[in-house]
Each structure stands twice: as structure tokens, then as C-alpha cells.
Amino acid sequence: MSKFQIITLAIFILAIIGGVIAFATFKGGSSGTTLPTITIWGTFPADVFNKYVANVNATLPQALKVSYVEESPDSFSQDFVAALARGTGPDGILIPTDMILPHEDKLTLIPYGALSERSFMDSFIQEGQIYLSQNGILAIPFTVDPLVMYWNRDLFSAAGLTTYPKNWGDFTTLGQALTQKDQNGTVRKSAVAMGQFSNITNARELFGTLLLQSGNPVTTLSGSVPATTLATGQAISQSVLQFFGQFANPSSPVYSWNRAMPNDKTAFLSGTLATYFGFASELGDIRNKNPNLNFDVAPLPQYKTGKTTEYAKMFGFSIVRTSANANAVYQIVSILTSPTNLAGLSQTMYLPTVLNSLDQSSTDPYITNFNKAALTASTWIDADPVKSRQIFSAMVDAFSSGQKTAYQAVQDAANQYDVILRQAVQ
């Protein structure tokens, strides 16, 4: 082994030992223990988080002391790294799963001696398993926000349709009934917004969902080295690209969308788009912006053959390696993610809980669908959601414009994606 390899291995071993020592005295958050003040940085909304902590504290004999700092997703990484360099970093972070890869080396793993892998898997929905590593747990799940389908009841009724599309193949038939064009072929009312990225709010998440449902995990980890599966799963990637792109192809029988049209959410709110693929958390915003819109919520369509899943944004608590209060952070996080407290958070945010024990007996029509989506939700390891969206967008544009074949568009996208994935762990 080279000197560099020996030094790297030694640092890795010391980090593991340090993590074990940090949690060796864990007692489970005793109500009689006075915990120090901890600081958490994150991209989770501060108003929601602070209100949640206040609600939890109202039930405790001694209040938790948590100072939370909300950071913009665009500046979080830069600010976080700079603070660590100054020695002023937080004790913990609260960020989405797709932002965690570049910061894994800055985190203290929660040892399986403190929380066993079996207990974690039994407690949290399957998407949470993205936090499991060979040597410990990267984060404790906090919230989950699945992608769902909003559909306009009036447009469906006007087209003689009584139900929403349950499979992606349904859009090839229902789509033609829902899409309305004038004598010049201009789309006036659209069945579905796909085939473009520039005016589709959640295009990255939607395209990634199609890959996941088709059996392509988008990215994988080989040891600690991430890589994309776009090219290694070429057949699937090409199939998804061709399916997605057909809806923006004027010569396709399912043509219903183009880059000249308004943003998909705006079109849905105005009643000119029959379906909108948005997050569960968008329900309140849609209601507020158009109280007269006659819509419903349904699970995201699936392929008839494939994996039943949909993308979901998951936030989780991680412990920062430089924190002098690792044990306290874990105790506080354990309280904040207890089943009782998470149940209250779920009701407050009107979202499903990250727990496997989520209530399936709810009679609320929206929560019922949100809960179903949460149980099958998944995501992928990403380096930078903004950059991956740009890569997906360029791939779709190159194929749709005829500049590249599906094979070449996928291959080029894979090469670009691998670069940003490797850079994230250097």
C-alpha cells in the first residue's frame, strides 16, 4: 500500500472509532438529562421546523434547545464547507437525500450499535434505506414528499372520461381525447406535459421516476464511488427517452406539449392542462391559487410491467463530524423523530410520515393516496440536483431536435453525469 492509502485508511478507522465513542454513552434521551444547545443548518423551511420543535417542547419536561438556520439550496454547500473550514460549522444538517453525497465525508455515521440496521428498516419506509451504509447510518429520515398526479375533473368529464390514467400507456389513448388543437394544429388544451424540461416544473423528478419504474436506478455506489446507470442501462434509458419525448413531437399522435406553452403548473391552474405531476406538498398551493379548480389527486401512473415506485423528496437529520455534541445531537434527533412526534408533524404538514407504521386507515382522500405513494417511494444518489436536471434537459433536447440519436444522447448524458458524480466525492 502507498503512504497515501495508509494515511487514508488510518483516518477512516479513526473516524469509525470516534463515531463509536461518541455514541457509547447513549442512554436514549432521558427526560432527566439536560442536553446542550445544538445548531442545525438545512434547506428545510425554518418556520415549519421551529414551530415543530416548539410543539414537541410543549410535551417535554425540559425543552430541547435547537438553533436552526435555514439556508438556500443554491448556497448551502458553499456556506457549509466555508463554515467547517472556519471551525464554526453546525452540529447537524437537515437536507434532502439528493444533496447529501458531496457531504458524506463531513458526517459522523450513526453506528449500528446505537441504532441497528434491522430496527432502522423496520421503522422507516423503504426510501430511507438510501441512508444505510456498510459502517453506519448517514441520516435519520424526517419528512417525505412524494410525487403524485393532479388531474382536472372537468376536462376529463368533457372528454367523456370517468377516471384518471393509472398506467403510462393510458396516455396514448386518453391523451388523444383530452388534447384539443385548433385548425392550425396549435394545442389549446393538453392532456399531459412531457417531452420538454424548460416549462415542466418537476421534469427531473418525473424523468427519473420513469427510469426507476423501468428498472434503471439512475445512479449506483460501488464502495464509495458513485456512477450513473444511464449508459449501462442503455436499452431502458433509450426507451424512457423515446416515451418521454413523443409528447413534444408534433408528428406523434400523442403530441400535447411544446416549449412555447406556459409552465405546466400555470397551465393546470388555468384549466388548460388535464394532468399535473407535482409533489404532495403542492396541494395547498394549488387550492389557494385557484379555489374554483375542480381537481383530484391520484397516485403517479406506472408501467404495466415494472417496479411500482415514484420519486419522493426526503429530508433527513445528519450529524456533522466536527460537532463536539454528537451524542446530544443524536438524542435530540431521536426525540424529534419519535413516532408520536412525527405523527403530529405529518398532520401539521399534511404529508405522509416517514414511518412504516403510518396510518393506513385514514379516510381523507388525499392523505390516503399520499400514504400509498410514500410506501413505494424511492430516489437516487445525486451530486447536484440542478446539474442533473441540466444534463437530463440537454439529453431530451438533443434527441427531440434530432441533433442526436437516442443512443448518443444517453451516452453523452451518462459521461457528463459521471463527471459531476466523481467530482462530488473528490
- What's the burial of 271, exposed, middle or buried (CB within 10 Å: 0-12/13-18/19+)? middle
For the beta carbon of residue 306, count every other beta carbon within 10 angstroms. 15
Chain-wide mean pLDDT for the chain? 91
Q: pLDDT value at position 160?
A: 94
pTM of the model: 0.91
Domains, the chain: 16-145+313-378 (3.40.190.10), 146-311+383-424 (3.40.190.10)
Q: pLDDT value at position 359?
A: 61
Rounded to an integer, what is the distance from CA 213 to the centroid of its chain?
A: 15
Q: Which single residue is written with the C-alpha cell 463554515?
A: 83
Q: pLDDT value at position 364?
A: 86
Q: pLDDT value at position 19?
A: 47
Spans in the chain with pLDDT lower than 50:
1-21, 24-31
Q: pLDDT value at position 27?
A: 45
Residues paired with residue 141 on neighbouring β-strands, in sequence order: 316
55-90 per-position pLDDT tens digit: 999 999 999 999 999 999 999 999 999 999 999 999
Q: How far is CA 297 from CA 200, 202, 275, 284, in A?
A: 18, 16, 10, 12
137-155 per-position pLDDT tens digit: 999 999 999 999 999 999 9
d(C-alpha 316, C-alpha 107), whole Å: 13
The residue type at 426: Q
